[in-house]
């Protein structure tokens, strides 16, 4: 029994060690929109958050944490005063090569970033009404766009917009992200760990039977 107890304790430690801590970073705008057209007003601004599978490492320099990079971002949600775009109803605007590229300081806090998401997800068509939310601080700006016609499509995804009948924009004071929460998901047995546990229990039963027969 002592052997079985040790084995089960070891496996439980392995399961917990494989449970990563997700991190949520909340965006606070530096100001309201400086200019607004259509459905937007200068009383509006952008708020939002991103969630990563693990907290961002310290001292990152221009690292792509989006789907085309390390894929650390597991969820996002941004509201521009009119629309709320999330990872469920929008995608990363792939036409911008700097999108989802970030830098961090020695504490792992975001010091440079650009996030641009666009909705609806592909497949898109020329002329389709698109919604966009963008925030960045290398060259400080934030922008919300509603119902802008898609100008070009590349690989079924809208790749450019030329007119913005509804837009809120500011480029004076940079917004910022702050780490506000980390959460450790409930430990789960992966198929490999479950197989290891099964083999361990079978080996234990076999060893017990062998010792019983010899006695």
Tens-digit pLDDT profile for residues 179-192: 997 765 555 555 65
Q: Are residues 170 and 131 in the same domain?
A: yes
pLDDT score at 2: 54
pLDDT score at 91: 97
Q: Which residue has the tokens 């929008």?
A: 90
Q: Are residues 58 and 120 in the same domain?
A: yes
Q: Are residues 8 and 25 in the same domain?
A: no
Tens-digit pLDDT profile for residues 5-38: 554 454 454 444 445 689 999 999 999 999 999 9
Q: Are residues 178 and 203 in the same domain?
A: no
Domain count, the chain: 2
Q: Are residues 134 and 40 in the same domain?
A: yes
Q: Are residues 83 and 115 in the same domain?
A: yes
Q: Are residues 9 and 30 in the same domain?
A: no
Tens-digit pLDDT profile for residues 64-83: 999 999 999 999 999 999 99
Q: Which of 49, 47, 38, 43 is nearest to 87 (CA)?
A: 49
Q: Are residues 121 and 199 in the same domain?
A: no
- Residues spanned by the domain of 107: 20-185
Tens-digit pLDDT profile for residues 113-132: 999 999 999 999 999 999 99
pLDDT score at 21: 86
Q: Are residues 138 and 206 in the same domain?
A: no
What lies within 8 Å, CB to CB, of 54 at 6+ separation is 20, 21, 22, 23, 72
User: CA dihedral in degrees (161, 167, 171, 177; nearest 10)?
Assistant: -90
Q: Are residues 57 and 6 in the same domain?
A: no
Q: Which of 25, 114, 13, 23 is nearest to 63 (CA)?
A: 114
């Amino acid at each position: 029994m002592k052997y079985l107890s040790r084995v089960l304790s070891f496996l439980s430690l392995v399961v917990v060690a494989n449970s990563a801590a997700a991190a949520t970073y909340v965006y606070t705008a530096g100001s309201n929109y400086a200019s607004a057209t259509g459905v937007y007003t200068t009383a509006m601004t952008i708020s939002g958050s991103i969630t990563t599978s693990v907290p961002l490492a310290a001292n990152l320099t221009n690292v792509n944490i989006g789907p085309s990079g390390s894929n650390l971002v597991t969820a996002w949600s941004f509201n521009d005063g009119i629309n709320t775009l999330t990872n469920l109803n929008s995608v990363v605007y792939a036409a911008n090569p700097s999108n989802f590229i970030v830098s961090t300081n020695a504490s792992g806090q975001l010091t440079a970033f650009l996030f641009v998401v666009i909705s609806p997800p592909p497949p898109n068509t020329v002329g389709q009404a698109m919604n966009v939310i963008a925030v960045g601080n290398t060259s400080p700006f934030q922008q919300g766009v509603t119902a802008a016609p898609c100008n070009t499509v590349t690989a079924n995804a809208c790749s450019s917009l030329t007119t913005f009948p509804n837009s809120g924009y500011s480029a004076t004071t940079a917004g910022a992200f702050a780490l506000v929460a980390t959460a450790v998901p409930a430990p789960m047995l992966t198929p490999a760990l479950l197989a290891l546990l099964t083999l361990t229990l079978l080996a234990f039963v076999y060893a017990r039977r062998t010792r019983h027969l010899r006695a």
